[in-house]
Each structure stands twice: as C-alpha cells, then as structure tokens.
Amino acid sequence: MNTRIFLVLLTVFVLSAAAEDTLPKTADTFDVDGHKAFLYAAPASAPGRPWVWYAPTLKGVSLAGRKMYFEAFMKAGISLAGYDLGEVRGAPGSTAKFSLFYEEMVRRGYSPKPILLGQSRGGMMTLAWAFRNPDKVRAWVGIYPVCNLASWPLKNSKPQTLTDYGLSEEELNGRLKEFNPVDNLQGLLANKVPMFSVHGDSDVVVPLELNTSLLQERYKAGGGQIEVKVIPGEGHKVGPSFFECRELVDFVLKHADH
C-alpha cells in the first residue's frame, strides 16, 4: 500500500477512535421527586441543546445500547435522557410526574422542546405527555409504539393500566376518549408537531393497524405531518429493522436542527 494512503487511513482511524472515546459510557443520574432520571449528555451539544426523551426508562435508558442510534445522536450534539416512573400507561397523574422531569431538564439548560421517542409501551407514555403538552414537543418518534389505549394496554396489560389510571375497567372504558392519545391530537396538529414511526406489519403484540396506522390515519386527516415505515413480515422484536433504521436517524437529526 502507498505510504501516504496508509498514513491517511491511520489518521482517520485514530481520529475516529478518539471521537468514540469522548462518548459517554454511563449515564449521569439524578433524582426528581423520588424517581431516578438518566442523562447521556452529548460531548459537544448542538445549538439550543437538543435532546431525545426516551421511554420506557426502567432502571436505565436502553436506547443507549443501540449503537447506531446512540452514536448518531451523540455525534450530532443531541443528548439522550429518560425518567423511570415504572410501568405507567399515560394517566394524568403519571403524566404530571413526567412534567417534573421535563422541567428539571429545562432548568439544566436543555431545549424546552425535546424530541420524544417511545418504544413499544413507551409510545403511550410519550404520546400521553405530548397531547397534554403539545407546545413543548419538537417532534415525536415511535418504534412499534403503543398509540391506542384500547389496544395493548387494555387487552394485554390491564392490571397495570387500571392501576395507573386509578379507575375500574368500566370507568376507564367510559372515559376512553378523554384519555386516549389517538382521540386527542388537536393540540399536536395545531402546533405542527411532526411524527415518525417504524412498525412491523406482522406485529401481534402491538398490532400495526390498531396503533401506528390508526395514528397515521387520524393525524393525516387533520393535516398533520407523519412519516411511517412499515417493515414487511416482521413483528415485535429487537432487530436491525427497528434499531438501525436510517430514516429514523435522519428524522431526528432533521428536527433537532430547528
């Protein structure tokens, strides 16, 4: 190999390795109202200090373990954070507690308009907060997200859902339109919040048609901007289709730069 080419490649490798070393290896943790928050601060924050708020955060931000996403966000100056409230399902009370975390992040100097990213049941957590705080959301992203309270929460997670809302099943069903994110999109539409979701068409846990597709149909009907990537033949699983999705990264980078 030509000596000059070798030296150039070696320099690129060394610089890349040095850049990797600057990425946070562990989260900074802090307490908010008796619950733990986790923050991976970008080494060099982009203007406005953008951040991705990830859910569910259960003893840590699992998205930090998804190499493609984590490195793309960190290198673009986008921090990653989450707040562990346990197995909540979007009730007004737990949503209000999420607001305490949001206020603490803003107090620390981060953008007052985070990008919300909900994976699976985290979709319900983030959408429930978003529709109650539509002026505080830069964009919303879902990875096979629960969007519809009448779907997975009341079919496969009933005890946790009823506990979070503090209602009987009959009472919750009677007030479903009051609490269900897909029935409360007006504020997000008025604030022109863009959305993106990646979802498999063979998902039997969080069915596409009852969640992402329903959200897409209603958001588009209201004039909203929503992009959906459907993965043929794939279900509710961890894999590159969902955790190495270039379109998801591009969406986050585009909307963080506002």
pLDDT tens track for 125-172: 999 999 999 999 999 999 999 999 999 999 999 999 999 999 999 999
Per residue in 191-213, is it b (16+ CB within 10 Å) or e — as a string? bebbbbbbbbeebebbbbebbbb
pLDDT tens by residue, 49-79: 999 999 999 999 999 999 999 999 999 999 9
Q: What is the pLDDT of residue 17?
A: 43
Mean of all residue pLDDT scores within the chain: 93
Report the 10 Å Cβ neighbour count for 173: 12
Q: Is residue 6 scored above 90 in pLDDT?
A: no
Question: What mean pLDDT is predicted for residues 239-247?
Answer: 98
> Which pLDDT belongs to residue 38?
98
Looking at residue 166, its pLDDT comes to 98
pTM for the structure as a whole: 0.91
Model pLDDT, residue 14: 32
pLDDT, mean of residues 72-90? 98
When pLDDT is cut at 50, 70 and 90, the band that residue 22 belongs to is: confident
**Amino acid 253: pLDDT:** 98
Query: What domains does the chain contain, in order, with CATH numbers?
Result: 28-256 (3.40.50.1820)
In percent, the amount of the chain with pLDDT more than 70 equals 91
Cα 135 to the center of its chain, rounded Å: 17
pLDDT at 18 > cutoff 60: no
Residue 208 has pLDDT above 90, yes or no: yes
Cα distance between residue 57 and residue 81, in whole Å? 9
What would the mean pLDDT of 73-95 be, rounded to a whole number? 98
